[in-house]
Structure 1
Amino acid sequence: MSEKHIICLGSALWDTIFRVDHIPPHGGKVLPTIAVQGASGMATVAAVSIARLGGRVSLWSRIGDDHTGQMFIEDLAREGVSTAGVRQLPNVRTPFSTILVDKHGERLVVPYFDPALDTDTGWLPLHEIASAGAVLCDMRWLQGAEVLFSHARRLSIPTILDADVAPVDDLRAMMPLADHVLLSEPALHSLSGASSPEEALVEVASTLSARVVGVTLGARGSLIWQNDDGAGTLSRFPTINIRALDTLNAGDVWHGTYAYGITRGWDLSRTVRAASVAAAMKCEHFGGRAGAPRLPQLLERLQLGAAEFV
Structure 2
Amino acid sequence: MNDKPVICLGCAFWDTIFKIDRIPGHGAKVLPEKAVQAASGMATAAAVTIARLGGKVEIWARIGDDPTGDSFLHDLSNEAVRTESIRRIPGARTAFSTILVDRFGERLVVPYTDPSLDADPGWLPLDRVAEAAAVLVDMRWREGAKTLLAEARRHGVPTLLDADVAPPEQLREMIALADHVLFSEPALLSLASNRSPRDALMSVAQDLEAEIVGVTLGAAGAMIWQREASEDIVSEFPTIPIEAVDTLNAGDVWHGTYAYGLVNGWNLARRVRIANVAAAMKCEHFGGRLGSPRLPDLLERSRALVQAPAT
Whether the TM-score (by the shorter chain) exceeds 0.5 is yes
In 1, are the aligned partners of 2:240 and 2:305 still within 8 Å (CA)? no
SS at match of 1:51: helix
What stretches of structure 1 move > 6 A for 4+ residues in a row?
306-310
* Segment of structure 1 superposing worse, 94-103 or 224-233: 224-233
Question: Cα deviation per residue 1:91-117 (whole Å; 9 max; x = unaligned)?
Answer: 111000100000000000001111101
Counterpart residue identity of residue 163, structure 1? A
Structure 1 residue 2: Cα displacement = 2.7
Structure 1 residue 57: Cα displacement = 0.3
In 2, are the aligned partners of 1:254 and 1:275 still within 8 Å (CA)? yes
Task: Give 1:13's aligned residue.
Answer: 13
In 2, are the aligned partners of 1:240 and 1:308 still within 8 Å (CA)? no
Structure 1 residue 118: Cα displacement = 1.0
Task: Give 2:215's aligned residue.
Answer: 215
In 2, are the aligned partners of 1:2 and 1:54 still within 8 Å (CA)? no
Q: 1:243 to 1:173 in 2, by over 3 A?
A: same
Task: Give 2:135's aligned residue.
Answer: 135
Question: Cα deviation per residue 1:150-190 (whole Å; 9 max; x = unaligned)?
Answer: 00001111000000000101011011110000000000110
Q: 1:158 to 1:230 in 2, by over 3 A?
A: farther
Task: Give 1:29's aligned residue.
Answer: 29
Q: Which runs of 5+ in 2 are unaligned?
A: none
Q: Count the aligned residue pairs.
A: 310
Task: Give 1:39's aligned residue.
Answer: 39
Question: Cα deviation per residue 1:232-277 (whole Å; 9 max; x = unaligned)?
Answer: 5310000100000000000000000000001001100000011100
SS at match of 2:242: coil
Q: 1:40 to 1:159 in 2, by over 3 A?
A: same
Q: Which runs of 5+ in 1 are unaligned?
A: none
1:273-292 mapped onto 2 (5 Å cutoff):
273-292=273-292
Q: 1:115 to 1:307 in 2, by over 3 A?
A: same
Q: 1:307 to 1:286 in 2, by over 3 A?
A: farther
SS at match of 2:145: helix
Counterpart residue identity of residue 87, structure 2? R
Task: Give 1:79's aligned residue.
Answer: 79
State the distance in 2 between where 1:239 and 1:86 align.
Answer: 34
State the distance in 2 between where 1:303 and 1:110 align.
Answer: 37
Question: Cα deviation per residue 1:192-232 (whole Å; 9 max; x = unaligned)?
Answer: 02421110000000100100000000001110000017745
Structure 1 residue 55: Cα displacement = 0.4
SS at match of 2:32: coil
State the distance in 2 between where 1:46 and 1:259 align.
Answer: 9
SS at match of 1:209: coil
TM-score (norm 2): 0.97
Q: 1:211 to 1:200 in 2, by over 3 A?
A: same
TM-score (norm 1): 0.97
Q: 1:7 to 1:93 in 2, by over 3 A?
A: same
Does residue 202 of the first structure (1) align with residue 207 of the second (2)? no
Counterpart residue identity of residue 6, structure 1? V
In 2, are the aligned partners of 1:226 and 1:232 still within 8 Å (CA)? no
State the distance in 2 between where 1:180 and 1:307 align.
Answer: 24
1:1-310 mapped onto 2 (5 Å cutoff):
1-228=1-228, 231=231, 233-305=233-305
Instruction: Please tell me the root mean square deviation across aligned C-alpha atoms, in Å.
Output: 1.6
State the distance in 1 between where 2:118 and 2:284 align.
Answer: 37
State the distance in 2 between where 1:193 and 1:12 align.
Answer: 30
Q: Identity of counterpart residues, as a percentage?
A: 63
